[in-house]
Amino acid sequence: MKTPSSLEALISALRCLPGVGPKSAQRMAYHLLQRDRQGALQLARSLDHAVESVRHCAKCNNFSEEEICALCASSRRETGVLCVVEMPADLLVMEQAQCFRGMYFVLMGRLSPLDGVGARELPLDRLVKRAQELQGEVILATNFTVEGEATAHYLATLLRAHGIKVSRIARGLPVGGELEHVDSGTLAQAVLERRAVIE
């Protein structure tokens, strides 16, 4: 039996989502058409609207509907420090933790040669320009993966070459964590990055 071409097109389109293979895409398409046509229409409209209206903030590179996002436009942010994160989700986590009140720059990725992402695929010129505008410290808050570490190392070298002060977020034991439940890599890093006890 031949699948209708419009259904084939929908299944193929759904495969662009990360982690969605042919079977998952087929299940999603069947669900939307058989059980939730209203949801399918809402999804289509929302996706169309987002693609048309969402762009990158001219300052931090995060997603925004305006030229300058609300966070960058806020007068309550500290302008002497810039935190570099990989993705918008990382920025949201930082904001939810309420541990940082400065400015951000979102790379929208990380160096990953196996995935075809090199320095040219990241907005590094914009990052350097933004860091020079703020004339302060840049905190590298990329993930502690192989790719995240490589990205942090590359960025540190690049920014220092422009005379910009660079630091890296620390690694270590989680709050409330117990030594017997921590992996050896995290424990070793916590020992290496130990601090003096202040009286």
Let me know the angle formed at the C-alpha of 186 by 182 and 190, rounded to the nearest 5 degrees: 110
Q: How far is CA 125 from the centre of its chain?
A: 18
List the chain pLDDT tens, one digit each, 199 residues.
677 889 999 999 999 999 999 999 999 999 999 999 999 999 999 999 999 999 999 999 999 999 999 999 999 999 999 999 999 999 999 999 888 999 999 999 999 988 889 999 999 999 999 999 999 999 999 998 899 999 999 999 999 999 999 999 888 777 777 777 778 877 787 777 777 767 6
Q: What pLDDT is stored for residue 126 in this prediction?
A: 96
Token pair for residue 195?
Answer: 């601090």
Comparing CA positions, the residue from 143, 63, 66, 74 lying closest to residue 103 is 74
Q: What pLDDT is stored for residue 181 in this prediction?
A: 78
Q: What is the C-alpha separation between 102 and 99, in angstroms, rounded?
A: 10
Which residue type is seen at 110? Answer: R
- Please name the residue ranges forming H helices in the chain: 5-14, 22-34, 37-53, 70-73, 88-97, 124-134, 146-161, 184-192
Domain boundaries, the chain: 5-53, 78-168, 173-199
Which sign does the torsion angle of CA 98, 100, 101, 103 carry?
A: negative
Q: What pLDDT is stored for residue 186 in this prediction?
A: 79
Q: What pLDDT is stored for residue 184 in this prediction?
A: 82
Q: What pLDDT is stored for residue 199 in this prediction?
A: 64
Report the CATH superfamily, name and number, of domain 5-53.
Answer: RecR Domain 1 (1.10.8.420)
CATH code of 78-168, in short, is 3.40.1360.10
